[in-house]
Amino acid sequence: MVDFSGYFKSYFDYLPILLIVISLYWTRIVGGPWVPSSMQVIHRMLDMAEVGPDDTVYDLGCGDGRVLVAAAKRYHARAVGIEIDPIRYLWCQILISVLGLRKQVQIIFGNLFNADLRKADIVVCYLMPDALSKLEKKLKTELQPGKRIVSNKFSFPTLEMVKKDGNAILYTITPNQSEINSQ
């Protein structure tokens, strides 16, 4: 038997292992692993959603922050990213500071399913189908009719698709789908 007792003297010694496990495995279970969207798909999604300077774009599972940076720099929108992986959350914080985007971009550390999405005009996601099924109910209860949702690659089960261009899929919350007034 290999004796690791000499390597791990305090709980802090386990921290790198814990961070790697969260980054590689935990994210798969709670929404989807980190696979960055290509810049081409990001521009297609944000173009389709007609993002403008008065909009607030939410990226649910913001990864390395590329969607947020594109929304802020190319479309002059406000952007909010939610990320559960501590390493990528820290990366995003550093990135937006280095790029001078602190006033325009906010990063929230945590689970997207616990986030308040009511201020979003456009929601961007690149998550696994299981996560989209769960997210759909939340979007219907928190987004007003007319708000746009764009997904990379994977479809929502019952939201009405407006347009699909390659991997970019656009949805709008219709008055029929919105559950805000029916509560």
Spatial strand order of the sheet with 168-172 comes to 105-109, 78-83, 56-60, 122-125, 148-152, 168-172, 161-165
Q: Rank residues 35 and 98 by Cβ distance to ligand SAM and give the closer one.
A: 35
Asked if residue 37 binds ligand SAM (CB under 6 A), the reply is: yes
Give the number of residues in contact with ligand SAM, rule: CB under 6 A.
24
Of 76-95, which residues contact ligand SAM (CB under 6 A)?
A: 82-85, 88
Residue type, 77: A
Q: Rank residues 84 and 169 by Cβ distance to ligand SAM and give the closer one.
A: 84
58, β-bridge pairs:
80, 123
Residue type, 4: F
Asked if residue 159 binds ligand SAM (CB under 6 A), the reply is: no
Asked if residue 63 binds ligand SAM (CB under 6 A), the reply is: yes
| Per-residue binding letters, 3-32, with ligand SAM (x by CB under 6 A) | ------------------------x--xxx
Q: How deeply is 179 buried, as exposed, middle or buried, from its count of CB atoms within 10 A (0-12, 13-18, 19+)?
A: middle
Do 45 and 167 contact (CB within 8 A), yes or no?
Answer: no
Do 159 and 135 contact (CB within 8 A), yes or no?
Answer: no
To ligand SAM, the closest distance from the beta carbon of 5 in angstroms equals 32
Asked if residue 169 binds ligand SAM (CB under 6 A), the reply is: no
Write out the residues near ligand SAM by the rule CB under 6 A: 27, 30-32, 34-37, 59, 61-63, 66-67, 82-85, 88, 111-113, 126, 152
